[in-house]
Amino acid sequence: GVDLDTGQMELPLGEDGEIAVYGPQVMQGYWRNPQANAAVFREIEGRRYFLTGDIGHIDQDGYIVITDRKKDVILVGGFNCYPREVEEVLYEHPKVAQAAVVGIPHPTSGEQVKAFIQLRSGEEATEKEILDFCQERLAGYKRPRSIEFRTELPTSAVGKVLRRVLRDQEMEKMQE
């Protein structure tokens, strides 16, 4: 993996970074698009690496574990906050059916974490209840600063919550 802040290659086992691959199976580049190529290829020690945009690490057994997408990482006060990590905590709450978090602009920290939650059928919860639950389980910069309850979250055809749609909706609200 590649350190998102320094560009350092070969991070220690278990440490998240951007996944980089090389070899004959990797594409040569984008057709007639040098800007796109410059953004995703790195020449390191004579090898041409492709930066996949996936965040992950190598586990103790040598397997690659994908934990998130680079474009979804939330930058809070200089710290990388991985949405999936926060969402996993939210899913531990017994009343939560679906959850997603996105970064929203913040004047001093760059971004802050906002959570969108769909409760299980027949359940009720307050923002304070969910925030207190997170406070016990997450570092300060990873904790959602606000919760928005929804009857349903936008999903793809395969049922994956679409963070991009939620982020776009938040940006529209801020411009109103």
Domain ranges of the chain: 17-69, 73-175
Q: Are 166 and 160 in contact (CB under 8 A)?
A: no
Q: Are 116 and 146 in contact (CB under 8 A)?
A: no
Confidence of residue 7 (pLDDT cuts 50, 70, 90): low
pLDDT at 9 over 90: no
Highest mean pLDDT among 36-40, 58-62, 86-90, 104-108: 86-90
Confidence of residue 2 (pLDDT cuts 50, 70, 90): low
pLDDT digit string, tens, across residues 98-148: 999 999 999 999 999 999 999 999 999 999 999 999 999 999 999 999 999
pTM for the full predicted model: 0.82
Exposure pattern of 138-150 as b/e (b: 16+ CB <10 Å)? Answer: beebbbbeebeee
Pure H helices in the chain: 34-40, 83-92, 127-135, 163-175
How high is the mean pLDDT of the chain? Answer: 93
Largest CA distance in the chain: 59
> What was the pLDDT predicted at 5?
66
Domains 17-69 and 73-175 share a fold: no
Task: Please give the CATH number for the structural domain made up of 17-69.
Answer: 2.30.38.10
Place of tokens 């974490």: 113
Name the region of 126 (left: φ>0; alpha: ψ -120 to 50; beta: rest).
beta
Query: 73-175 adopts what CATH topology?
Result: GMP Synthetase; Chain A, domain 3 (3.30.300)
C-alpha distances in Å from residue 92, one per residue of 27, 140, 143: 40, 18, 14
Query: How far, in Å, CA of 45 to CA of 117, rounded?
Result: 45
